[in-house]
Amino acid sequence: MAEEKRGRGRPKGSVDKTPRKRRGGDMANLPRVLQRYQLEGDNEFNSTLASFQVEVIQLRSQSKHHVTDPDYLLGSFQEYLGLCSKYGMRITNAGAYSAMGIDRKQASEWRTGKRRQSDPRFKELIDLVDSLCSMNREQLMIENKIMPGVGIFWQKNYDGMKDEPEEKAEATVDDELKTPEQIREQYKYLIETDDAPTKP
């Protein structure tokens, strides 16, 4: 008589009583996890970064209940600047937005006026945050602490900067029929002077 083939795993209906590690986690437990990482970490920077992130997360959880109050969010941003100074961290857009309880999309909507149009203080707040972060990026570039390509990428994506194409005056058939005074008058907007008119 052939042996009955047994399947893999536990019999149907049995309960696994062995505690096992599970992937994933609860956002509410994240500060506690970071604190453990802070204590167990061998690298001093990682330990400092974890401590910094714990306080930013706590600040974010408070700010999320006050996203309709720009004065409160300004205070949160100021606290974030204090944390950056305390832990020696660089000011970043992502960090500032997180401390204020918002994300990049919300910041963009406040900046462009898609949301909170009735209160200009929201746009002023985001403009202030972006301006200070932009100053930090420029300082990093001046001190050669980041590659120019990275700095330019950040400025284009966060600061709205773009390349300005060089304008050149090219002679045409009509130009050959004009006097030098007429040509000078036509292209005087290309001459860089304090009283130069704007391009027509």
Alpha carbon distance 176, 133 (integer Å): 51
pLDDT category, 75, cuts 50, 70, 90?
Answer: very high
pLDDT score, position 41:
47
Asked if the model's pLDDT at residue 176 lies above 70, the reply is no
Question: What is the number of H-type helices and E-type strands within the chain?
Answer: 9, 0
pLDDT score, position 101:
93
pLDDT score, position 172:
61
pTM of the model: 0.59
- Give kind and range of the element (H or E) at residue 137: helix 121-142
Residues near 51 by Cβ (< 8 Å), separated by ≥ 6? 34, 38, 87
CA–CA distances in Å: residue 30 to residues 25, 36, 38, 58, 99: 8, 10, 12, 10, 15
Helix, strand, coil share (%) of the chain residues, nearest 5: 60, 0, 40
pLDDT score, position 23:
46
Out of 16-20, 115-119, 193-197, which region has the weakest mean confidence (pLDDT)?
193-197
Condensed to tens digits (0 to 9), the pLDDT of residues 114-155 reads: 777 678 889 899 999 988 888 888 888 888 888 878 888 887
Condensed to tens digits (0 to 9), the pLDDT of residues 31-46 reads: 555 555 544 545 666 7
Q: What is the CA radius of gyration of the chain?
A: 29
Out of 2-11, 95-104, 123-132, which region has the weakest mean confidence (pLDDT)?
2-11
Q: Which two tokens stand for residue 196?
A: 């130069």
